[in-house]
Amino acid sequence: MSFMQTVGRGWDGFLGQFADLLFPSHCVVCRRGGAWLCAECMATFTSVPLPVCSQCGDPVDRVGLCSRCRVSPPHIDGIRSLFIFSGVLREVVHQFKYNGIKVLAAPLGQAMVELCAAVGGSVDIVVPVPLHRARIRERGYNQSSLLAGVVAGQLGLDLNERDLCRRRSTRPQVGLDIVGRRANVTDAFACNSEAFSGRQVLLIDDVCTTGATLEACAAALYGGGVRAVFAVTLARAHWQSVR
Residue type, 21: L
| Direct distance between the N- and C-terminal alpha carbons of the chain, in angstroms, rounded to an integer | 41
- The average confidence (pLDDT) of the chain is 85
Query: Is 9 among the domain residues?
Result: no
Q: From CA 179, how far away is CA 183, in angstroms rounded?
A: 6
Query: Is 139 among the domain residues?
Result: yes
Q: What is the reported pLDDT for 149?
A: 98
| Range(s) of the domain holding residue 215 | 46-236
Query: Is 163 among the domain residues?
Result: yes
Average pLDDT over residues 121-127: 90
Query: Is 113 among the domain residues?
Result: yes
Query: Is 25 among the domain residues?
Result: no
Rg of the chain (C-alpha set): 18
Query: Is 26 among the domain residues?
Result: no
Query: Is 193 among the domain residues?
Result: yes
142, 136 Cβ separation under 8 angstroms: yes
Query: Could you give the percent of the chain with pLDDT greater than 90?
Result: 62
Residue 188 has pLDDT above 90, yes or no: no
Global confidence as pTM: 0.85
Q: What is the reported pLDDT for 215?
A: 92
Residues 6+ apart with CB under 8 A from 21: none
Q: What is the reported pLDDT for 177?
A: 56
Residue 202 has pLDDT above 50, yes or no: yes
Query: Is 32 among the domain residues?
Result: no
Q: From CA 6, how far away is CA 162, in angstroms rounded?
A: 15
pLDDT tens per residue, range 34-91: 899 999 999 999 999 999 999 999 999 889 999 889 998 888 999 999 999 999 999 9
Q: What is the reported pLDDT for 6?
A: 47
CATH at 140: 3.40.50
**Count of domains observed in the chain:** 1
Average pLDDT over residues 16-27: 60
